Amino acid sequence: MAPVGGCHPDKEPRCSLPDLNDVNMKHLDPLLSRYGVVGDAFDLSPSRYRGLPELSSYGVDLGSGFPGFEARPDDRVVAGGHALGDKDRARLLAIAEGCERYSGAQFGTEGVVTAAAHDLDGRVLDWSRIPRLSDAEYAHPRCPLVPFDPAAPIRWVRGVDLRDGNPTWLPLSMAAYRSGRRFPAERFVASISTGCAVHTDPASAVFGGLSEVVERDMIAVLWLQKLPLPHIPLDVLDERERTLVEWAHDRFLNTVLLDATSDIGVPTVYCMQTAPHDQTLRTMVGCGTGLTIQDAAYKALLEVTCFRDSLHVEWEEPVSFADYTDISDGAKYMGKPENAPHFAFLTDDHPDRPSFQDRGRYAADATEGLARAVRRFAELDMAVIAVDRTTTELASVGLHSATVVIPDLQPMSPVPLAQYHAHPRLYSAPAAMGYRVLPVEELNPCPQPFA
């Protein structure tokens, strides 16, 4: 689930944060410290959003993420929070996003076991479900990933399969995206923040992480399969979404919202915004999930509104796709004016583009949403494993951190050479949603534009 304010750190994708309702706006301030969990919170709003004074943005500097050590200038991690009509909330969200970043690091060895998959006692994640690259991807001399090897010793931690409550071993590299120096055999999956979330309520944290995995699944599938998604009429939006669309229109930014809700059922919106006058960043995209299609649209709109400046910077383009190492490289490349035609499948008059149908509210709240989603995954025979990532510091202020892993869903990869072309979900998902299915040789060859 993309947050009601995402984050755009230097080397990681935006992270997930559910709504923090009824939280004292100073509740997380004890975590602000130059040597602690989160560094200073700074107001980004004055230099942005002219004509939209009700939109607030805050950023936080995390430092090293390890107590007692400052970050090197080239190793900074930055998180952000954004809110329409509530400046204090934007600040709170930024600090909470920083906390999620902090909890994504593996600080010690407690609860970690090094072993081959065959040597573990108890239930182990079905490694045949772990996403795979195609043979052609693995064969590239600069491919960053390797196939999973059940005979190779790697680090494991225990989570809980939410379908039945049973403890389940899963690789640390899938549960903690900042797990330090990885064993060579642990490089079967890219380390990104998908599925991580924090909240004052543990069920909300887990639902936030689950929703983000669902969101990233569709970001990957719709782009690689070039799905002709339904367009969302503006008249179904609430005032806050229309405010953002109208503000963009007044600045000659064209906005298209698409219903990216998958067969899983959690409302998801994909947003494409184009700037015909911009010679640097013509096209950018955002995505969001929510309990309603309106909530999801709001989050997707905040992403494209708040992160345009972050992408609209001087960029030394890498020589080849093999050199794309920063999370934003694909977005900057695809944003160039000459690449605008590659987004046409999102807007053209495609004969198979279905009409939008609002399915209504998904659930009354996050607890009910989590229960409904888990039931759906059980129907599809897909494991949903939650790992408690709450640190002592987060617990001291009442925060819970969780990572949710759903191996059967398609990973969103910012690495052009590692798009998981052999994962079954890439081909089963379009069929399950009633779309045509492209074979591997016809998949979208362009880099992932989501950052």
CATH number at residue 271: 3.30.160.660
Q: Does residue 248 share a domain with residue 342?
A: yes
Same domain as 213, residue 132: yes
Max CA distance (Å), the chain? 61
Measured CA to CA, the distance from residue 342 to residue 323 in angstroms comes to 21
Assess if residue 441 is contained within a domain.
no
| Residue 444 within any structural domain of the chain | no
Record the tokens describing residue 319, joined without a space.
């020589």
CB 120 within 8 A of CB 169: yes
The residue to which tokens 């059922």 are assigned: 265
What pairing do the DSSP bridges indicate for beta strands 78-84 and 196-199? unpaired
Point out the domain boundary residue: 300, 322, 347. Answer: 347
In which element (H, E) is residue 174 found? helix 172-175
Q: What is the pLDDT of residue 25?
A: 60
Same domain, 248 and 323: yes
**Structure tokens of 266?**
């959690």
Does any domain span residue 94? Answer: yes
Given a contact cutoff of 8 angstroms between Cβ atoms, the answer to whether 122 and 32 are in contact is no
Do 233 and 284 fall within a single domain? yes
What CATH number is given to the structural domain containing 98? 3.30.160
Tokens of 156: 């494991």
- C-alpha 62/C-alpha 40 separation (Å) is 8
* 150 inside domain: yes
Domain range for residue 151?
A: 112-221+380-433
Q: Which helix (H) or strand (E) holds 198?
A: strand 196-199
Is residue 62 domain-shared with residue 133, that is, in the same domain?
A: no
pLDDT at 127: 96
At 285, phi and psi to the nearest 5? -130, 160
Name, in order, each residue with C-beta under 8 angstroms of 65's C-beta and a sequence gap of 6 or more.
Answer: 71, 77, 101, 102, 105, 178
The DSSP line for 202-220 is HHHHHHHHHHHHHHHHHHH
C-alpha to C-alpha distances, 57 to 94, 130, 208, nearest whole angstrom: 8, 37, 21
In this structure, are 398 and 308 located in the same domain? no
In a domain, 153, yes or no: yes
Asked if 313 and 338 sit in the same domain, the reply is: yes
- pLDDT by position in tens, the chain (length 451): 333 233 333 334 444 555 555 556 678 888 888 777 888 888 987 666 777 888 999 998 876 555 556 655 555 567 889 998 888 999 999 999 999 988 988 888 889 999 999 999 999 999 999 999 999 999 999 999 999 999 999 999 999 999 999 999 999 999 998 887 889 999 999 988 999 999 999 999 999 999 999 999 999 999 999 999 999 999 999 999 999 999 999 999 999 999 999 999 999 999 999 999 999 999 999 999 999 999 999 999 999 999 888 888 888 999 999 999 888 999 999 999 999 999 999 999 999 999 999 999 999 999 999 999 999 999 999 999 999 999 999 999 999 999 999 999 999 999 999 999 999 999 999 999 999 999 999 999 999 999 8
Domain boundary among 67, 87, 104: 104
For residue 426, is it within any domain?
A: yes
For 232, phi and psi rounded to 5 degrees?
-95, 120
Q: Check: CB of residue 403 under 8 Å from CB of residue 183.
A: no
Domain total for the chain?
3
Does 231 lie in the same domain as 146?
A: no
Q: Is residue 366 part of a domain?
A: no
Would residue 291 count as lying in a domain? yes
Residue 278 burial (10 A CB sphere; 0-12, 13-18, 19+)? middle
| Helix spans in 318-443 (H) | 329-334, 366-379, 392-396, 425-432
**96/121 same-domain check:** no
Angle between helices 425-432 and 202-225 (to 10 degrees): 90
Residues 334 and 246 in one domain: yes
Residue recorded with tokens 């609860």: 111
Q: What is the CA radius of gyration of the chain?
A: 21
Q: What is the pLDDT of residue 231?
A: 98
**Which is nearest to 152 in space by CA: 127, 174, 132?**
127
CA angle 117, 440, 217 (to 5 degrees): 60
286 contacts 300 by C-beta, under 8 angstroms: yes
Residue 295 and residue 233 share a domain: yes
Residues 231 and 217 in one domain: no
Residues 6 or more apart in contact with residue 185 via CB below 8 angstroms:
146, 149, 152, 153, 154
Instruction: Single out the residue in 75, 104, 133 at which a domain terminates.
Output: 104
